[in-house]
Amino acid sequence: MKMKIHIRHAPHALLVGLVLLLISVAGVLASGNIDQTQRWAWGINVGWISFELGDDGGVTVYSDHLEGYAWGENVGWIRLGSCTGGSPCSHANDGAGTYGVNNDGVGNLTGYAWGINVGWIDFNPTGGGVTIDPVTGDFAGYAWGENVGWINFQNDSPAYKVNTTWRGNLASAYQNDIDAIITTRRPGPAASSGLTIANISFLNDPGDGIIFGHNASIFATVTSDLPGGVDKRWARVWQLDVCDEESDGGQVLLTFDISDAGGQGAFSTTGTYFLLKRATGSNDTFAIVTVGSASVSGDQLTFAVDVGELGSEFTLGATADSPTVVTLQNRTTQAGWSVPGAVLLSLFALMAIVLMAMRRRI
């Protein structure tokens, strides 16, 4: 409500400037990341509103805000915010030049849009609220405008919704089999092709969550980009986009199912396993992650990790097969204790002399 009071009492010059800005919209529109088909919201008092406009622009979803313009035949242009340069940016919503819709990183939207014919539209009103599912890209819920009432972003019958290609901060190479854990909407556990994530004490605030996917590599083992003490790793790598709203810590359970790689034989029957991490988008060597605890149950390898260690690229590493090492060590030991043949012959000769002497005495 504080935001509304500030805007309504903003100087007349600011509101005039805002109107002029909306009039000049056609010259600054840019294409967004809304689906060309799934792009419609509906309000009984405003009709259909399109969030994707082809060559005429549309709305872009970022991990911290929304920007761009939607269009309704009955109401004209609706601007999603004052940001224009992409991420990072957020809308303060404390004046006519700082309004806009914010994204908390996992798809919970807050803040205000503006239309000259509809006024202010609240994306997080009491009794409503708009969210984006980072796994599917689907908008859901209701926004509210005092001049126009409720605007619905998804409906079953008749079927319509707004959909975006936004998937958190996951790079395009890692947008395979995406899943997420979000405090208010997806409590978990969540899984992505051999990696399951569950919460211990991390999901404390409404904006806390993890969005993750993998690079689609097959479950082969490779020997590249390894830290010391690790002999091989999975080729498949997962990227984790973590949002810890209040940075109050906690832990997350990461469970790798190596049956997806052909069972423990793909790595080792009794070898040592490591959780490996490297910076997102890099080709640097992986580093071994310090974990709170680790356990093995059949093909399930579970690591308890502080949330501060997350974010970035992860995979599973292992030592070489232990039975082979043991065998090599035994062979080395036997060779080390081998006795020259000449010495053995001398010993046998000495033993024969002693036996002959003992028989003569008898």
pLDDT tens for 129-179 read: 999 999 999 999 999 999 999 999 999 999 999 999 999 999 999 999 999
Same domain assignment for residues 11 and 34: yes
Asked if residues 185 and 172 have their Cβ atoms less than 8 Å apart, the reply is: no
| Whole-angstrom distance, CA of residue 163 vs CA of residue 168 | 14
Same domain assignment for residues 234 and 304: yes
The reported pTM is 0.79
Determine what percent of the chain is predicted with pLDDT higher than 70. 77
Among 122, 104, 114, CA closest to 166? 104
pLDDT at 358: 52
For 160, the token pair is 């319509």
| Whole-angstrom distance, CA of residue 28 vs CA of residue 21 | 10
Same domain assignment for residues 262 and 148: no
Does 265 score more than 80 pLDDT? no
In this structure, the number of other CB atoms found within 10 A of the CB of residue 195 comes to: 25
Please write the tens of the pLDDT for every residue from 203-219: 888 889 999 999 988 87
Please write the tens of the pLDDT for every residue from 225-253: 999 999 989 899 999 999 988 877 889 99
Count Cβ neighbours within 10 Å for each residue of 85-103 and write b for 16 or more, e otherwise: eeeebbbebeebebbbbbb
CA dihedral 355, 358, 360, 362 (to 10 degrees): -130
pLDDT at 240: 95
Same domain assignment for residues 150 and 205: no
Same domain assignment for residues 40 and 109: yes
What backbone phi and psi angles, to 5 degrees, belong to 115? -135, 135
Same domain assignment for residues 292 and 180: yes
pLDDT at 340: 40
* CA atoms 295, 239, 281, 249: torsion sign: negative
Same domain assignment for residues 229 and 342: no
Q: What is the mean pLDDT of the chain?
A: 81
Same domain assignment for residues 142 and 6: yes
Asked if residues 219 and 177 have their Cβ atoms less than 8 Å apart, the reply is: no
Asked if residues 48 and 56 have their Cβ atoms less than 8 Å apart, the reply is: no
Same domain assignment for residues 42 and 117: yes
Kindly state the average pLDDT of the residues 268-281.
Answer: 78
Out of 133, 164, 195, a domain closes at 164
Same domain assignment for residues 151 and 210: no
The CATH number of residue 218's host domain is: 2.60.220
pLDDT band at residue 334 under the 50/70/90 scheme: very low
Out of 132, 164, 196, a domain closes at 164
By residue range, what is the domain housing residue 343? 323-361
Total domains in the fold of the chain:
3
| Whole-angstrom distance, CA of residue 48 vs CA of residue 33 | 19
Kindly state the average pLDDT of the residues 311-332.
Answer: 56
Same domain assignment for residues 266 and 348: no
Same domain assignment for residues 249 and 346: no
CA dihedral 224, 225, 226, 228 (to 10 degrees): 120
